[in-house]
Chain A
Amino acid sequence: DVKVTQSSRYLVKRTGEKVFLECVQDMDHENMFWYRQDPGLGLRLIYFSYDVKMKEKGDIPEGYSVSREKKERFSLILESASTNQTSMYLCASSLGGGGDYGYTFGSGTRLTVV
C-alpha cells in the first residue's frame, strides 16, 4: 500500500524551540506539500516542492522553512516555535505533470507549542 508517513503523531514543544517535522513518501512522487489545518479555516498551504532541492512558498510561509534533499523526504522546520503555530500539520504528495492528480496525505502531526 502506498504511503505518506509523518514521523510523529503528537508533539509538544516549548516556545522558541526549533522544530522539525518529517515526511516521507514511497510512491516516487515529484510533488510534496505541507499544509496546516485549523478549525474553520480548512487547509492552508505553507510550502511545496516540485523537485529535489526546489521549494515554493505557499499562502502562509512566515515562521516556517522547508528542506528537500531527497525525492522521498520533505521536512518542515519551525525556526522558533510560537504558540500560534499550534496546529495539525499535514504532509501530502502527488505525481508531477499536468496537475490533475489527487493528493496522498499523511496521517498528520498534531503540534502543541507551550
Chain B
Amino acid sequence: AQSVAQPEDQVNVAEGNPLTVKCTYSVSGNPYLFWYVQYPNRGLQFLLKYITGDNLVKGSYGFEAEFNKSQTSFHLKKPSALVSDSALYFCAVRAVTGGFKTIFGAGTRLFVKA
C-alpha cells in the first residue's frame, strides 16, 4: 500500500535562512512524487514533481526538492526563506503502476519569521 509521512507538523525558520520540509514515502515500484502548497482558505497549488531523471527537481517560487531513492525521501528545500512562504505544504505520491490514485501526507505548516 502507498503511504506518505511528513514527520513534522510545523517548521519554523527565520527569513533569509534555508528551509527544509521533510517527506518520506512508501510505494510498490517507482514513484511519482509531488509537492503542493496551500495558502489560507485556498485550494492546493502544484509546486513541483519528480517523475524520472535528475534527483534534484526545481519548481515554482524558488523551491526545489531532492529525490533520494535509498532513503525513500523527497524533501522540499529553499535556499532563502521569505515571510510569504508561510503556508501549509503537502507531499504526495503515486505509484507508476498505481493508476490514478495519489496519496497525500498530513501536511507541514511552515512559519517564516521576519
Spell out A's residues near B (CB within 8 Å): 4, 9, 31, 33, 35, 40-45, 48, 50, 56, 58, 90, 92, 94, 98-100, 102-108
Contacts and interface: CB of A to CB of B under 8 A. Distances in A.
Among A43, A44, A48, A50, the one with the most B-chain Cβ atoms within 10 Å of its Cβ is A43
Interface residues of B, number: 27
B98 A43 contact: no
Contacts of A107: 41-43
A99 B96 contact: yes
21 contacts: A33-B100, A40-B106, A42-B106, A50-B100, A56-B100, A92-B44, A99-B94, A99-B98, A99-B99, A99-B100, A102-B34, A102-B46, A102-B49, A103-B44, A103-B46, A103-B102, A105-B36, A105-B43, A105-B44, A107-B41, A108-B43
A42 B46 contact: no
A49 B106 CA distance: 23
A90 B44 contact: yes
Nearest to B95: A99
